[in-house]
Every structure is written in C-alpha cells, then in structure tokens.
Structure 1
Amino acid sequence: MTRTLAIVLALIIAALGWQSWRLNNARHTIESQGTALEVKAQELSKKNSQLIGLYILTETNSREQMRLYAAAEQTTILLRNRQHRIEDLKRENEDLRRWADTPLPADIIRLRARPALAGGAAYRQWLSQSDAVQPEPVSAAH
C-alpha cells in the first residue's frame, strides 16, 4: 500500500508540476498578449489622432471652399452690375461712348493677349520668349 501511495503521490506531484508549467506558459502568453494589446492601443490612438486632424483639415477646407465660392459669386454679381453700369453710362454720354469704342493701344492689346500662366516657371519662360524691352545703350562718358 505504501507503494501505491507513493505512486499516487508521484502522479499528483507530476500532475501539479505539469499544471504549474501550463500556468506559467499561460501567464507568459497573457503578458505578451497584454504588451501587444498596449502597442496596438497606442497605434490605434495615434491613428485616431491622425483621423481627427484630417477631419478638422477637411472641415476647414470645406468652409474655405464655400467662402471662396461665395466670394466668386459675389464678384461675378459685382462684375455684372459694373458691366450694366458701363452700358448705361455709354447710352447716356456720347463722349464716353466714343471713348469706349476707340481701339486700345497696341501695348495694351499685347498685354491682354498674353497666355494663361500657371506658376512662376511658366511666367519666366513666357517672359524670355516674348519681345523684351531692349536696354538703353550705356554712354561712355562718366
């Protein structure tokens, strides 16, 4: 019976050792998963902050776009009113009508005929290709 008791005791000790080993592995797994969860939470917080920043930027852009559309509409209305006022004045005043019907000077026509430019590089290229004003000759006498 002692032998049976020793075998049962050995089995119980082996079972407890095995359970202790499993619990230790489970604890290590839980700790590593907890660490991974904290890292993921920090990444999620960072992404959430970025999304909030993008939302604020989008809202700001939308408001500014609406403001620009309203300003463009207001400008169009003012331009239309100005054109109507000019037409009314031309009908009222003969001198103004003659002045408005005279052709523009060649330099003004050339300025109005320039192409639409997109940026500084295009402007510099246009300037270098156009007929630039020649510099005055430098006199030799000082």
Structure 2
Amino acid sequence: MTRALAVILALVLALMGWQSWRLNNAGHTIAKQAEALKNNKQELAKKNSQLISLSILTETNSRAQTQLYAAAEETSALLRSRQRRIEELKRENEDLRRWADTPLPADIIRLRDRPAIAGGAAYREWLSKSDAVPPGQVSAAQ
C-alpha cells in the first residue's frame, strides 16, 4: 500500500511539475504577446498620425489646387476680355490698327524667344551663350 501511495505521490508530483512547466511556458508566451501587442499599438499610433498628416496635407493641396484653377479661370476671362477690347479698338481706330499690325522689332522678338530660366546659374549660362555685345573701341589717349 505504501508502495502504491509512493507511486501515486510520485505521479502527482510529476503531474504538478509538468503543469508548473506548462504554466511557466504560458506565462512567457503571454509576456511575449503583451510586448508584441504593445509594439503593434505603438506602430499603429505612428501610422495613424502619419495618415492624419497626409489627410491634412491632401486637403490643403486640394484647396490650393481649387484656388489655382479659379485664378486660372479668372486670368483666362480677363485675357479674353482684353483681346475683345483690343479688337474693338482696332476696328474703331485706323492708326491703332496699323500700329497693331506692324511686326515687332528684332530685339523684342529675340527677347520673347529666350528659354525659361530657373535660377541665377541658368541665367548666367544663357547670357554667356547668347549674342555677346562687341567690346567698344578704345581710342588711345592723346
């Protein structure tokens, strides 16, 4: 009987040890999952703030784009009005019609044909490539 009791006691101790080991492993798993959950929450908060920033930026860009389209429409309307006024004036005044029909001077045409310049370096490069002014004649001092 003592032998059976000793075997049962050994089995109970083995089961308790095995259960304790499982409980310890479960505790470690829970701790790892809690840490992962904490990291995921931090990442989610970071991504959420980025999305909010992008949303604000998109809204701002949309408003600015709408304003630009409105300004472009207004400019286009003013240009059309100006063109109509010029045509009306040309029909009314013979001198103005002759003046409007004369071609622009060559220097003005050349100025209008220059490329788009972005920055000082591009301007200096364009100047160095364009028609240079010939140096003036220096007369010897008498």
Please tell me the TM-score bracket, short chain as reference: 0.7 to 0.9
* CA separation of 1:138 and 1:29: change in aligned 2, threshold 3 A: farther
1:134 Cα shift? 4.9
TM-score by length of 1: 0.85
What letter is aligned with 1:94? E
How far has the Cα of 1:61 moved from its partner?
1.2
**What SS does the aligned partner of 2:82 have?**
helix
- Residue 41 (structure 1) shift: 1.2
Unaligned runs of 5+ in 2: none
Q: Read off the aligned partner of 1:38 and give its amino acid letter.
A: K
Provide the aligned C-alpha RMSD in A. Answer: 2.3
Paired residue for 1:130? 130
- Alignment deviations for residues 76-100 of structure 1 (CA, whole Å, 9 cap, x no partner): 1110100000110111122222221
Percent identity over the alignment is: 74
Matched residue SS, 1:103: coil
> Counterpart of 1:70?
70
CA distance in 2, matches of 1:25, 1:109: 86
Give the whole-Å Cα distance in 1 for the aligned partners of 2:138 and 2:106.
28
Which residue is equivalent to 1:23? 23
Cross-structure match for 1:90: 90
1:122 positional shift? 4.6
Counting only pairs closer than 5 Å after superposition, residues 1-142 of structure 1 correspond to structure 2 as 1-115=1-115, 117=116, 119-120=118-119, 122-134=122-134
